[in-house]
Structure 1
Amino acid sequence: MIPASGTVVDYPGGATASRGTVVHVADVGDGRLAVVLDRTAFHPVDTAWPDQPADRGTLRVNGAEHDVLDAVVGATDGGPLLLGPDVPVRTGTEGWTFVVAHVVDAAAPVSEGDAAEVTVDAAYRTALSAGHTACHLASLALDAALAGAWRKETPVDALGAPAFDALAIEESRILPDGSRDVYRIGKSLRRKGFDPAALDDVEGVAARVDAQLAEWIAAGGAVRIDRDGDALADRRAWVCELAGAEVRIPCGGTHLTSLGELAAASVSFAVTPVEGGLELVMTTTAERA
């Protein structure tokens, strides 16, 4: 039976292995099973904001090791367990229980009550963590680089710059050692006071972002994940020592433990006219030390 608190997750603390008990097994079709444990180190993809992909790794049950084909967030309000795109609410919504569902081949002999061990591909996790940390840095550096483009007062980011990233973001995808962020500059953003002419010199914007990234990475600030609790649904935040301050951004992903683990990071931009405005794509590339 799924506990009311949902799955306890160990990945925010950096764990890449864990032991737990199978609390639910469901046939999800296409020859696959969804296996829910009471505790896991496996990071799942969250359908509501699928920026970081699921970990890779294995699930060991009854002496046999099975590849985890996918890991997704599942949820129930007391009825059937819903998985991935079928979850109709955001993780943490009151009245719902949220779990990590490990998707394995249906031939795996798994039953409720079985003891299970999870092992995560640590190299892939580290690459995603580097990409996610660099993504946050790049978003803050982009906000700073575009600070002069605003003609009205606007909400600010964790460092006090106008929050272009939060206001314009359409999609974010964490990649191994990098990320890809898509922004839309349309009527809504212009009404908020943003001047699209700031992107006429997009190479200049990239140079300012890169310079800021180099300064922050050279300082080697500590990084940690703060959390309200150990359950999947509990709120978590990325906290980083940056520019003489402790910067905090809500985030459910995985990260490095120090900017000293990065040797460098840089961005490139593509600007494309779209109906009603512009699309800006920022690709961030991180190099680990």
Structure 2
Amino acid sequence: MTLPTTRVSFPGGAVTGESTVLAVHPLGDGRFGLVTAETPFHPLDHTWPDQPADTGTLTVAGTELAVVDCLTGAVGPDSDELLVGADIPVRRGDEAWSWLVLHVLAGDPAAAVGGELLGAEVALAVDAERRLAVSAAHTGCHLLALALNEALAPRWRKDPGRADAFGNPDFDSLAMASSVMDTEASTDVYRLGKSLRKKGFTVDAVEELPALAEALPAITAAVNERLAGWVAADAPVRIEVPGPELTARRRWLCELPAGSAAIACGGSHLHRLGQLSSLETELTLSDDGSELTAVTRPKRI
């Protein structure tokens, strides 16, 4: 199976498109993955599955079929076998592999349309409301990272060797354990272990700096004040797209009052922060002090 890497239009905000069916792959449990040359659908990334997959519909030969999930598939250089999700042994972007978006259907599409699908023209439509809600959460996640880095900057006793767009120590990147978003919020979990402390992050009280647990209400207030200011500024947001391929190394860019911020990102986003009426986070520390969790909720206008 020799297939070209799927070209995607979701980074620019597209929710509809037309393309040609290149393959239909059985996934088990009666499900099938349909591959097209181009798609507006965002698939779940097997390497960093933070943003959930788009859902929606595709219409082929006059028949509308529900896309219940969307996965990443890949075909390696030494085999024609199509591997899906966790079965892919390399990170997304390995140039020796072809990278594919699989539109997951609950049943056999050939049986549904009553004929061969390869080469057929298909119309694709993403659930636009769901996409917008997830995009808001993803944009909020990146803003939270920058605001949290700023609020926690005084807690570094030495330079950890990695800074964000505004020169603050990149706590978000250095401590990140997991990041997941849905239609309501983004949830980011940070590990405050020995490796982070060796890099210079201070959890306990030192000199005039209170312990993190004691300082957390003030830190939360500072983060939310910064987020509110950015939303009020209605900063523009865009995705830098070097190419249409699923594997293109894209970046999230936001023109904040303090300057332009950039974060590597393969997901979808809002176009302006003015699309939000508010953005607030809740910070909680685990009982043993080993993890900090941020739940960031955007509210759209």
Q: Which 4+ stretches in 1 moved above 6 angstroms?
A: none
2:257 corresponds in structure 1 to: 243
| Aligned counterpart, 1:287 | 299
Q: Distance in 1 between matches of 2:49 and 2:2?
A: 24
Deviations along 1:130-168, one digit per CA (max 9) or x if unpaired, are: 111111001110000000000111211122110000000
Equivalent pair of 1:2/1:38 in contact (CA under 8 Å): no
SS at match of 2:149: helix
CA positional deviation for 1:107? 2.8
Is 1:188 the counterpart of 2:195? The answer is yes
Partner of 1:31: 30
Q: Aligned letter for 1:40? A: T
5+ residue gaps, structure 2, are 111-115, 205-210
Q: Per-residue CA shift, 1:149-203, capped at 9, x if unaligned?
A: 0011121112211000000000001121420001110000000000013522211
Matched, 1:128 2:134: yes
2:166 maps to 159
Q: 1:47-196 alignment to 2 at 5 Å?
A: 47-78=46-77, 79=79, 80-109=81-110, 111-154=117-160, 155-196=162-203
**Native 8 Å contact 2:153 2:169 kept in 1:** yes
Q: Which secondary structure does the structure 1 equivalent of 2:286 belong to? A: strand
Greater C-alpha Rg: 2
Instruction: Say which SS state the counterpart of residue 196 (structure 1) adopts.
Output: coil
Q: For the residues of structure 1 that align with 2:2 and 2:296, how far apart are their CA atoms?
A: 39
Given that 1:43 and 1:55 are in contact with CA atoms closer than 8 Å, whether structure 2 keeps it comes out as yes
Deviations 1:80-108 (A, max 9, x none): 11111111111111211111001112332
Q: Which AA in structure 2 matches 1:146?
A: L
TM-score normalised per structure 1: 0.96
1:7-34 per-residue CA deviation (whole Å, 9 max, x = no partner) reads 0101111110011111111111100111
Alignment RMSD = 1.3
Q: How many residues align?
A: 286
For residues 133 and 167 of structure 1, the distance between their equivalents in structure 2, rounded to whole angstroms, comes to 19
Alignment TM-score, normalising by the size of structure 2? 0.92
Q: 1 CA distance for matches of 2:159 and 2:27? A: 49
For the Cα contact (< 8 Å) 1:2–1:23, is it kept in 2? no
Which residue is 1:16 aligned to?
15
Equivalent residues of 2:46, 2:92 under 8 A apart: no
- 1:35 and 1:175 map into 2 onto residues whose CA distance is 24
**Cα distance between partner residues in 2 of 1:14 and 1:146:** 33
Query: Contact conserved, 2:179 with 2:187, CA < 8 A, in 1?
Result: yes
Measured after TM superposition, the shift of residue 117 of structure 1 is 1.1
CA distance in 2: counterparts of 1:256 and 1:186, whole angstroms: 34
> Is the 1:37–1:100 Cα contact (8 Å) retained in structure 2?
yes
More strand by share: 1
Q: SS state of the match for residue 131, structure 2? A: helix
Output the CA distance in 2 between the equivalents of 1:97 and 1:189. Answer: 36
Instruction: Decide whether the 8 Å contact of 2:186 with 2:296 is kept in 1.
Output: yes
- 2-side partners of 1:224 and 1:174: how far apart? 19
Give the letter aligned to residue 225 of structure 2.
A
In the aligned structure 2, how far is the partner of 1:171 from the partner of 1:40? 27
Separation (CA, whole Å) in 1 of partners of 2:152 and 2:56 = 40
Q: Is the 8 A contact 1:2 1:24 kept in 2?
A: no
Deviation at 1:271, TM superposition (A): 0.9
In the other structure, the counterpart of 1:199 is: 212
